[in-house]
Amino acid sequence: MKKIVLAILSLLVLFAGYVFYKNNFKTHLSFESFGLAKKITPAPELGRPLKINVVLEENVEKLLVEKIHEVESNLKSNDKSIDDWLALGIYRKMAGDYEGAREIWEYASFISPGNITSFNNLGELYAYYLKNNKKAEENYKQAVKNGPASIYIYRNFHFFYKDVLKNNTKAKAVLEQGIAANPGEASLDLQNLLKNY
């Protein structure tokens, strides 16, 4: 009899613990409550209305719209295609939808954090179109980190420092960094730019 009472009491305690947990913790526990950040970047909306904000010839505009629809169709069947996200960002930028391009390339950077292109594209977009130099520099730095053998990134980063920030010291340092990471003929372009200082 004593064993039955203990078993029933144990079951009641377990049940009470379950009810207490369900009512008090399940809705309050989160990654943030443990000091952990859980950042989920949702995919950009496909099929969002396109407003062309630049002057284009009619046939170019028509082709651009077709390309956007084609790439969006591809993404509906494979939303992890980094190449399609990068292309969609380019087409949005060509249409003058800089915020749309930013959102797309930020997402591409999220799903493929080791890629070079989205970070380089964001660097250019922030520097020359959205006028956010801090974000431009962050993205160029990440592009260099991801692709130290990609000469064009050093070139672009150099021109950002030289033309946008008017900082020849940093511009020269980026060229030197690219040359050091790519000795020999691979960096001839950077070596020629460095001769201007």
Total number of domains in the chain: 1
Establish if 130 belongs to a structural domain: yes
Q: What percent of the chain has pLDDT over 90?
A: 67
Establish if 89 belongs to a structural domain: no
Establish if 40 belongs to a structural domain: no
Distance (Å, whole) CA 52 – CA 65:
9
- CATH classification at residue 146: 1.25.40.10
Check: CB of residue 146 under 8 Å from CB of residue 114: yes
Give the domain extent around 170.
Answer: 115-197
Q: What are phi and psi of 195, to 5 degrees?
A: -65, -20
Token pair for residue 151?
């000469």
165-191 per-position pLDDT tens digit: 999 999 999 999 999 999 988 889 999
Q: What is the mean pLDDT of residues 57-61?
A: 90
Q: How far is CA 27 from CA 24, 32, 34, 59, 191, in A?
A: 7, 13, 14, 55, 59
89-126 per-position pLDDT tens digit: 999 999 999 999 999 999 999 999 999 999 999 999 99
